[in-house]
Amino acid sequence: AKDPVRVLVTGAAGQIGYAIVPMIARGAMLGPDQPVILHMLDIEPAAESLNGVKMELIDAAFPLLRGVVATTDVQEACTGVNIAVMVGGFPRKEGMERKDVMSKNVSIYKAQASALEKNAAADVKVLVVANPANTNALILKEFALSIPQKNITCLTRLDHNRTLGQISEKLNVHVGDVKNVVIWGNHSSTQYPDVNHATVTTSSGEKPVRELVANGQWLNKEFITTVQQRGAAIIKARKLSSALSAASAACDHIRDWVLGTPKGSWVSMGVYSDGSYGIQPGLVYSFPVTCEKGQWSIVQGLKIDKFSRGKLDATAQELIEEKSLAYSCLN
């Protein structure tokens, strides 16, 4: 029998937290034969509600769930964790300036970086979900120097999955038959969903999405804004932000990272740039990646046309500005 893996979820009393903990306990993140111990962190005002979530986890009698730690102590929460899913953060409230939100999150991610560095397993894999996700991951990396850069990532898999969903709806094909879309850049409205390399498996082999979607205009305009604005559309419809799809995407992200991507396909992850595709090193940027043996690597050699180049650079520019805003909050 396998030893249990310890999975931390911060902000566990929130919406995404409530959706993701049962998924993890059912094996959607690490597989159906991997026991888990859940570590759930939230802040003092949510302590009672967090305890309620723990009660429900016990009541669900998940066979894979070997223990639950529910705490408001960040050091205790981080102790011995192998996977850390960082969902907790300070949301933007009406009337708040971007800088105020950034400043709150920079101090949260700075403190949690140190707690992880001190208490987590040496090879902990970190996924930042809380917004601004790329920049929170960057701050976490800067303040957790002993955690390898390669172990700190942010979530753009939801955007990736949304892209697969849009193409599948448009072409009326199974979503599982669409692959190799890319989300480039920031998890924000400047992200670039790119289908230039994407294919659909059909009865007569793999066909490029560009060939199947006759309307190139749709792909260059409406499709891109639909994906970029999907988060806002969900808020408008639900009066709450996406939670089940975000939780599911976070499970997909970790599962593929740990267990590997299927042969011939890639996924999108926010990772520390090494300069690939002309993106300046030192940004956490979403790239196409393949994963093997618990390591991701950026897919190389994709052809970037002029239209795409502009989009890749625009979202990089936004990340450069976010980074400098974050640094100005540190001082």
* Numbered residues of the known binding site: 11-17, 42, 92, 98, 105, 129-131, 162
Q: Given phi > 0 = left and psi -120 to 50 = alpha, else beta, which region is 172? A: left
- The closest residue (CB) to ligand NAI is 14
Binding-site residue set for substrate: 92, 98, 131, 162
Q: For ligand NAI, give the closer residue by CB, 200 or 326.
A: 326
- Catalytic annotation, pick one of 39, 160, 187, 253: 187
CB of 182 to ligand NAI, least distance (A): 16
Binding-site residue set for NAD(+): 11-17, 42, 105, 129-131
CB of 225 to ligand NAI, least distance (A): 17
Q: For ligand NAI, give the closer residue by CB, 40 or 213.
A: 40
Q: For ligand NAI, give the closer residue by CB, 113 or 246.
A: 246
CB of 201 to ligand NAI, least distance (A): 26
Q: For ligand NAI, give the closer residue by CB, 41 or 65.
A: 41
What's the sign of the alpha-carbon dihedral 247, 253, 255, 258? negative
Q: For ligand NAI, give the closer residue by CB, 39 or 187.
A: 187
Phi, psi of 2 (to 5 degrees): -75, 145
Q: Based on the residue annotation, tell me whether 187 is a catalytic residue of this protein.
A: yes
Residues contributing to the site for ligand NAI (CB under 6 A): 10-11, 13-17, 41-43, 46, 87-91, 108, 129-131, 133, 155, 158, 187, 241-243, 246
CB of 72 to ligand NAI, least distance (A): 8
CB of 221 to ligand NAI, least distance (A): 23
- Catalytic residue positions? 187
